[in-house]
Chain A
Amino acid sequence: MSAFLQATIYGLLQGGLLALVAVGFSLVWGVMNVVNLAHGGFVILGAYVGWEMHQWFGLDPFLGMFVAAAVMFVVGYALQRLLINLVINGPIFITLLLTFGLDLMIVQGMNLVFSADYRSIRTSYASQSLALGSVRVPLGRLLAFSLAVGITLILVAVMNRTRTGMSILATGMDRGAARLMGIRARHVYALTFGIAAALAGMAGAMIGTVGTFNPSAAASFTLMSFVVAVLGGLGNMYGALVGGLVIGLVQAWGGQYLPGTWVNALAFLVLIVVLIFRPTGLVGRKYYAARLEV
């Protein structure tokens, strides 16, 4: 029983972190129809920013992540405004192609600047655990999980209650109509991408604390974001959170009751089964499904 509880707690915590990694990806795909293959690169870039802050200023990574968010916001805004906006009207996979090229440059750039050495941001408290009976709750992961949930809730509130958020959603639904209403689409798109990059950067700083990273880890985060975003469903801000938690739990339970090497297969199986029975993902909105043209 305690093994089950331990697995559940661990899976939820892991899932929360995955959700934070994926939420920016889901936002950008759902609202702007942009498939950002460089998303994992943004995550790792955030991790490096967090690491540098810790290295040079001794800044605790849970504070350093705000710096990472700010830096990545600027990067994301600039990229969208100056580069991605140039092809937004093209066939949808063009953005995929553009972000693929961007990802190549970002990952290799990090390789050249930071070298391929593995790093981790060390804190004195992250590996401590709270003990609840025979179950251990690691502190670092608990903090990351709480932040992930908190940030998702803040994002939902911003999207639904502020003018900026609503202009983002509006532009996502119908760009032409939004522009007719006086919304500056170029700026709004750039804002969205910037927010997504900032979220990715924050997640990266946290990943850097609870695990190890190097430039080649970017690809697996992009893949994970795909799965989590679509499993949860696009068009709904809670989608990434739901998707992340489900994947985290499935992998933790799977690891516990099946031979350890089946965990990934199980995660993908769940994804496929959910998509077959709920084609728009667990909590996704139907409208967003139809907007794919090659």
Chain B
Amino acid sequence: MRSRKLAVAVVITASSLVVAGCSSKGAATSTGAGASGTLTIGAAVSVTGKLAREGVLTKEGYQLCQEKVNTKGGVDIAGAKVKLDIQYQDDTSKPDVAAQLVDQFNDKGVKLILSSYGSANTEAQAAVIERNGQIMVDSAGADNKIFSKGYKNTFAVLSPATEYASSIVKAVAELATPKPKSVVFLSADDGFSKTVTEGGMKTATTLGLKVLDPQYFPNGTSDVSSALTKVKGEQPDVIIGSVHLVEGVAIIKQAKELGVTPAGFGESVAPPTPDFAKTLGGQAENVLGSSQWTDATKGTDKYFGSAKDYTKDIQAKFSHAPDYHNAEASAACLALVLAAEKAGSSKPDAVRAALSGLDTESFFGKIKFDATGQNTYKPMSVIQIQNGKAVTVWPTDSAEAKMIWPGTK
């Protein structure tokens, strides 16, 4: 008896769903500017998961941008000022979730997107952006691979991956005396780090350095002893790590444990972060690093002012010194805002055209995109940890201090 009633109930519910399904759903609400005086931008950031730390820094950058723009009245679109509203979702550090969130934003009519953190997430998002006709400004996905697929709707404000190690090599070749003869790359095996290594090796060969065989290790490992032991015998002058924070700290720590002493160390990503100097203490002294931005970067813009102003603002709002991840996120948001202003509209096509033609200075440096959508016009800075602080040493026109060489005693 009961089961018959249950069966009938299920049939009725299901049939009504089928009938309802045959009619069309309402059109997706569009929330462009002018609809309610707000410019809505979608951002999928990694609040949880293994990229949580960088994800939070990215979110902070977006948040500061929103605050700065709205304090000045908002985004100036075709004469009217509209408030900037950035909506956040957590992609749990997974590329498939990041891509799914882009689709969900699209459903709600949010066509302008700020990227998630990291090359893997950004790559996944870029594919969906292209299919949906949305526009994305990439704040943290540096891998050149993303831009070799012919995507037209993604623009990166940050310098591409190939520059990370290349800039260190260039700095060392230019400023280090005595000039080092050999260099070896210790690299994690993820796509971004491998691109960094490739770029660095090419530059090193062009500049006449002897490039020893690179050593790879699993991404995220805290034990790089095998790689260090293997290169110890070859006695390289410079060891460059294409790594993220965990492997970067491991290289310095274990090099000391194993007695590996080149003339200097250089690493991508890790040294400019505050965690690096904090966790290593004295061992971090004189390690070189490349950064997308430092507080000595030249350039100003109407929302953030100069790099020094930016540093003050981040310190005031988030109680820590800014990391370049903060800066690149704010710069991405800035680019999108400036493009919307330039286009006088928030429609994707107009914004894309505006972004392609954007050529402006900012607290982040020059923002201009080449034909593939990458910002090849902004050089990376090379920093060195001196007395526990990261100071810019290259390019020489924005250097705060002289490079100390050799870096290890």
Contact = CB atoms under 8 A, between A and B. Distances in A.
Q: Do chains A and B touch in the complex (CB under 8 A)?
A: yes
Interface of A: 3, 6-7, 10, 14, 108, 111, 115-120, 122, 127, 129, 131, 136, 138, 140-141, 210-212, 214-216, 220, 251-252, 254-256, 259-261, 263-264
Contacts of A129: 256-259
B227 A212 contact: no
Contacts of B226: 7, 252, 254-256, 260, 263
A30 to B, nearest CB: 27
Contacts of B278: 119
Contact of B53 (A10, A108, A115, A120): A115
Contacts of B233: 3
Interface stretch (B245-253, B302-310, B329-337): B245-253
Interface string B193-226: 0000000000000000000000111101011111
Contact of B216 (A136, A252, A259): A259
Contacts of B229: 3, 6-7, 10, 255-256
9 smallest A-B Cβ distances: which pairs? A255-B226, A138-B257, A116-B53, A120-B279, A116-B52, A216-B50, A260-B217, A211-B222, A118-B275
Contacts, number: 105
Contacts of A115: 53, 56
Given A111-B52, A122-B279, A3 B218 contact: no
B308 to A, nearest CB: 24
B283 interface: yes
Contacts of B53: 115-118, 214
A127 B279 CA distance: 12
A215 B52 contact: yes
Contacts of A116: 52-53, 56
Which among B189, B257, B280 has the greatest number of chain A C-beta atoms within 10 A?
B257
Contacts of A216: 49-50, 52, 93
Contact of A261 (B48, B218, B249): B218
B230 interface: yes
B97 to A, nearest CB: 15
Contacts of A260: 215-218, 224, 226-227, 230
B258 A6 contact: yes
A122 B218 CA distance: 25
Interface string B355-372: 000000000000000000
A118 B245 contact: yes
22 contacts: A3-B230, A7-B226, A111-B48, A118-B245, A118-B275, A122-B281, A127-B257, A129-B256, A136-B258, A212-B245, A212-B246, A214-B52, A216-B50, A216-B52, A216-B93, A252-B225, A255-B217, A260-B224, A260-B226, A261-B189, A263-B218, A264-B218
A261 B216 contact: yes
B279 A261 contact: no
Given A252-B226, A263-B218, A119 B279 contact: yes
Q: Which applies to chain A's interface (DSSP): helix, strand, loop or mixed?
A: helix
A236 B247 CA distance: 35
A14 B232 CA distance: 20
Contact of B250 (A119, A212, A259): A212
B49 A10 contact: no
A156 B267 CA distance: 44
Interface of B: 48-50, 52-53, 56, 93, 189, 215-218, 220, 222-227, 229-230, 232-233, 245-246, 249-250, 253-254, 256-259, 275, 278-281, 283
B52 A261 contact: no
Contacts of B246: 118, 212
A164 B121 CA distance: 51
Given A115-B53, A118-B245, A256-B229, A212 B222 contact: yes
A214 to B, nearest CB: 7
Contacts of B281: 122
Contacts of A7: 225-226, 229
Nearest to B246: A212
B206 to A, nearest CB: 26
Contact of B230 (A118, A211, A256, A261): A256
Which among A111, A117, A252, A260 has the greatest number of chain B C-beta atoms within 10 A?
A260
Nearest to A220: B220
A138 B255 CA distance: 11
A14 B257 CA distance: 13
A108 B48 contact: yes
Given A111-B52, A141-B257, A117 B275 contact: yes
Given A115-B53, A136-B259, A120 B225 contact: no
Contact of B225 (A118, A215, A255, A259): A255
B223 A14 contact: yes
Nearest to B49: A216
A255 B258 contact: no
A276 to B, nearest CB: 25
Contacts of B222: 211-212
Nearest to A7: B229
Which among B56, B217, B279 has the greatest number of chain A C-beta atoms within 10 A?
B279
B257 to A, nearest CB: 4
Contacts of A215: 52
B337 to A, nearest CB: 28
A216 B218 CA distance: 16
A216 B246 CA distance: 12
Contacts of A210: 253
Contacts of A10: 225, 229, 258
Contacts of B259: 129, 131, 136
Nearest to B283: A127
B253 A127 contact: yes
Contacts of B216: 259-261
A261 B258 contact: no
Which among A10, A141, A263 has the greatest number of chain B C-beta atoms within 10 A?
A10
Contacts of B230: 3, 256, 260
Nearest to B55: A116
Contacts of A138: 254, 257-258
B207 to A, nearest CB: 26
Nearest to A139: B257
Contacts of B253: 127, 210-211
Contacts of B217: 255, 260-261, 263
B279 A136 contact: no
